[in-house]
Amino acid sequence: MSATNSFAGLQATLDQLLANDNLRSLRTLEKREGAYVWLAGKKYLNCSSNDYLGLAVDLSLQNIFFALRTQANSLSEYSPGASSSRLLTGTQAPHVRLEKTLAQRYNREAALSFTSGYHANVGILPALLSPQDMVFSDRLNHASLIDGIRLSGAKLYRYHHLDYAHLKQLLQKHRAQGKNAVIITESIFSMDGDVADLPQLVTLKQKYSAWLYVDEAHAVGVCGNSGLGVSETTNTIQDIDFLVGTFGKALAALGAYLVADQVVKDYLINTMRSFIFTTALPPIQTQWLNFLWEQLPQLQSRRDHLKYLAAQFRTALKIAGLQTRGESHIIPILLGENAQTLRTANFLQENGFLLFAIRPPTVPKGTSRLRISLTADMTWQDLEPIVPLIKSML
């Protein structure tokens, strides 16, 4: 059998994805400048970035950071690679400082860092849970959470999105049947931009003797007076058993972290496969993160600007009669079918706005959408033309 024939099934799948307007491809970014990017020689407003505070393109901040590097400390603390897993020789002084800072900022016993948010969720949950345990998960939780739950083997109960009456029914019916139970949610949901009711989840987890696992990936840096997330805004940090955050979005870096009790950190160091068998974060990344955590409380003006942009944008959508959801800096515009969504996304790209069609399986069938990610380096003048352009396509 030739190599071509042996992959015929793969090609058939790709052909079907193309026929369904669901084929994806990679694009090479040529240059970034503030809220704008260049692709294939054309300038676009970048509406698809997770750089919510604009830190990834803040050259003045980066210049301050690199000025801290000296010949004496460059090799050990600004190395481009850790060259080992954390349990061998990968743990270095910047990692230790970062985790101490995280624990102090959240006023928790311990913190543990990871090489990505995906690694965190697919590693923590299987380490903690077994087939004798149960999970109560929001139906729209991120793929990394879903994969972590599957790997754990725990019994899964999915509650309707943000429907805590349904969650309560499931807890009442099933909680007594398992050993440990965990309620899992994102704080800001990545595709709808809506926000979980963390105080209500705390009440339910206490009433039914469950753990609460909150992924703050899209809230860290953006929400709270210090940028700690929705948990800071709602004063629930101390009530969340497993609080996961990411470095790869508003903090313009790589990796993720967990803040929890010390016993949880010690347990995961010994049992979490995606931690044990992965090279540590590069020291230069952890140095950048140590630097940024010092800046984070002083970035309130950027957080306020994001809120202003989100309010302006949602008002414009409402006036235009377009369907949206949520209440955060992530703004979905629901168009329904793949073909219409692709046509609209392509039209916006032709007019200088870099955003893409979000389609199944990322979102449920029939809810294909445009997803606008606002960043603090945008202005309302940058964004204002988008709504009439979308309206003209419908």
Strand order across the 110-114 sheet: 110-114, 256-260, 242-246, 211-215, 181-186, 134-138, 155-159
* Band of pLDDT at residue 75, cut at 50, 70 and 90: low
Strand 211-215 relative to strand 330-336, pairing:
unpaired
Contact status, residue 221 vs residue 83, Cβ threshold 8 Å: no
Which pLDDT score is estimated for 364?
Answer: 87
Res 79: pLDDT:
85
Bridge partner residues of 155 (DSSP): 134
Alpha helices in the chain (DSSP H): 3-6, 8-19, 59-67, 74-77, 93-106, 117-128, 143-152, 164-174, 198-207, 230-233, 262-271, 273-276, 283-295, 300-320, 338-350, 380-383, 386-392
**Percent of the chain's residues with pLDDT above 90:** 84
Domains 19-53+300-392 and 66-297 share a fold: no
Query: What average pLDDT does this structure show over 238-252?
Result: 97
Has residue 259 got a pLDDT over 50? Answer: yes
Task: Give 286's DSSP letter.
Answer: H
What is the number of other CB atoms lying within 10 angstroms of the CB of residue 384?
12
Query: Is-cis flag, bond preceding 283, omega within 30?
Result: no
In contact, 169 and 196? CB cutoff 8 Å: no
Check: CATH 3.90.1150.10 for 19-53+300-392?
yes
- For residue 205, how far is the Cα from the chain centroid? 23
CATH topology of domain 66-297: Aspartate Aminotransferase; domain 2 (3.40.640)
Collapsed DSSP state (helix, strand, coil) of residue 344? helix
Position with higher pLDDT, 66 vs 309 = 309
Q: What pairs with residue 371 in β-bridges? A: 332
Question: Alpha-carbon distance 372 to 45, whole Å?
Answer: 11
Q: Amino acid identity, residue 23? A: L
pTM of the model: 0.94
Q: In the chain, what are the domain boundaries?
A: 19-53+300-392, 66-297
**Catalytically active residues, by annotation:** 190, 218, 249
Residue 77's pLDDT is 81
Q: Name 332's bridge partners.
A: 371
